[in-house]
């Protein structure tokens, strides 16, 4: 009876180790540059489908809202079928708590063969003003998919 309990316990511990190992393998597929986009509350990256190495905001003339977001990802992301597309949105606080806003679709990426990187320029002026007001943005949400 005692040996059976030991075997069951060892079996459970082995299964937990496998689950942890598989989870680590999946999350290791996303890689991030910790210094990319150190503005507008952007301190971490959660990007699916790309390794983003830099990000830049263009602000409105009065500096209160974001007009475009440009980000650069490693490698050639222009050969997918269909072509890879970038999406950008913001998490912001309209005064009622943190809200994840809708995404704007970026222009098709432009590949730079020398730098081996793809640049995406995302016009976010189609989003509501409250969703792109600099003072209320807490994070920038980026995805790349085809």
Task: Residue 132: give its domain's CATH number.
Answer: 2.60.40
Q: What is the pLDDT of residue 20?
A: 54
40 within a domain of the structure (yes/no): no
Residue 69's nearest CA partner among 109, 8, 30, 121 is: 121
Residue with tokens 């490698």: 75
Residue-wise pLDDT tens for the chain (146 aa)? 556 666 665 566 555 555 554 444 444 444 444 444 444 544 445 565 678 888 899 999 998 999 999 999 888 888 876 777 888 888 888 888 888 888 899 988 999 999 999 999 999 999 888 888 888 888 888 888 77
Q: What is the 3 state secondary structure string of the chain?
A: CHHHHHHHHHHHHHHHHHHHHHHHHHHCCCCCCCCCCCCCCCCCCCEECCCEEEEEEEECCCCCEEEEEEEEEECCCCCCCCCCEEEEEEEECCCCCCEEEEEEECCCCEEECCCCEEEEEEECCCCCHHHHEHHHEEEEEEEEEC
pLDDT given for residue 121 in this prediction: 95
14/55 same-domain check: no
What is residue 83's predicted lDDT score, i.e. its pLDDT? 74
Domain that holds residue 16: 1-30
Torsion of CA 117, 139, 127, 83, to 10 degrees: 30
Pair 19, 80 in one domain: no
The per-residue pLDDT for 53 is 86
Task: Work out the end-to-end distance of the chain between its first and last CA atoms, rounded to an integer number of angstroms.
Answer: 56
d(CA 107, CA 87) in angstroms, rounded, equals: 9
Contact 41, 137 (CB under 8 A): yes
On whether both 16 and 65 belong to a single domain, the answer is no
14 and 65 share a domain? no
Residues 56, 126: one domain?
Answer: yes
Q: State whether 20 and 52 are in the same domain.
A: no
pLDDT of residue 66: 92
In the chain, the number of structural domains is 2
């Amino acid at each position: 009876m005692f040996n059976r309990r030991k075997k069951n316990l060892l079996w459970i511990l082995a299964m937990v180790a496998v689950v942890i190992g598989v989870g680590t393998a999946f999350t290791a597929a996303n890689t991030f540059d910790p210094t990319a986009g150190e503005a507008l509350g952007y301190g971490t990256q959660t990007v699916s489908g790309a390794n983003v190495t830099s990000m830049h905001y263009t602000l409105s003339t009065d500096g209160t809202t974001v007009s475009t977001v440009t980000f650069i990802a490693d490698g050639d992301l222009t050969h997918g079928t269909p072509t890879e597309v970038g999406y950008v949105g913001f998490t912001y606080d309209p005064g009622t708590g943190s809200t994840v806003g809708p995404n704007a679709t970026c222009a098709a990426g432009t590949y730079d063969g020398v730098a081996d990187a793809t640049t995406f320029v995302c016009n976010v002026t189609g989003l509501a003003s409250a969703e792109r007001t600099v003072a209320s943005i807490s994070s920038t949400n980026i995805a790349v998919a085809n």
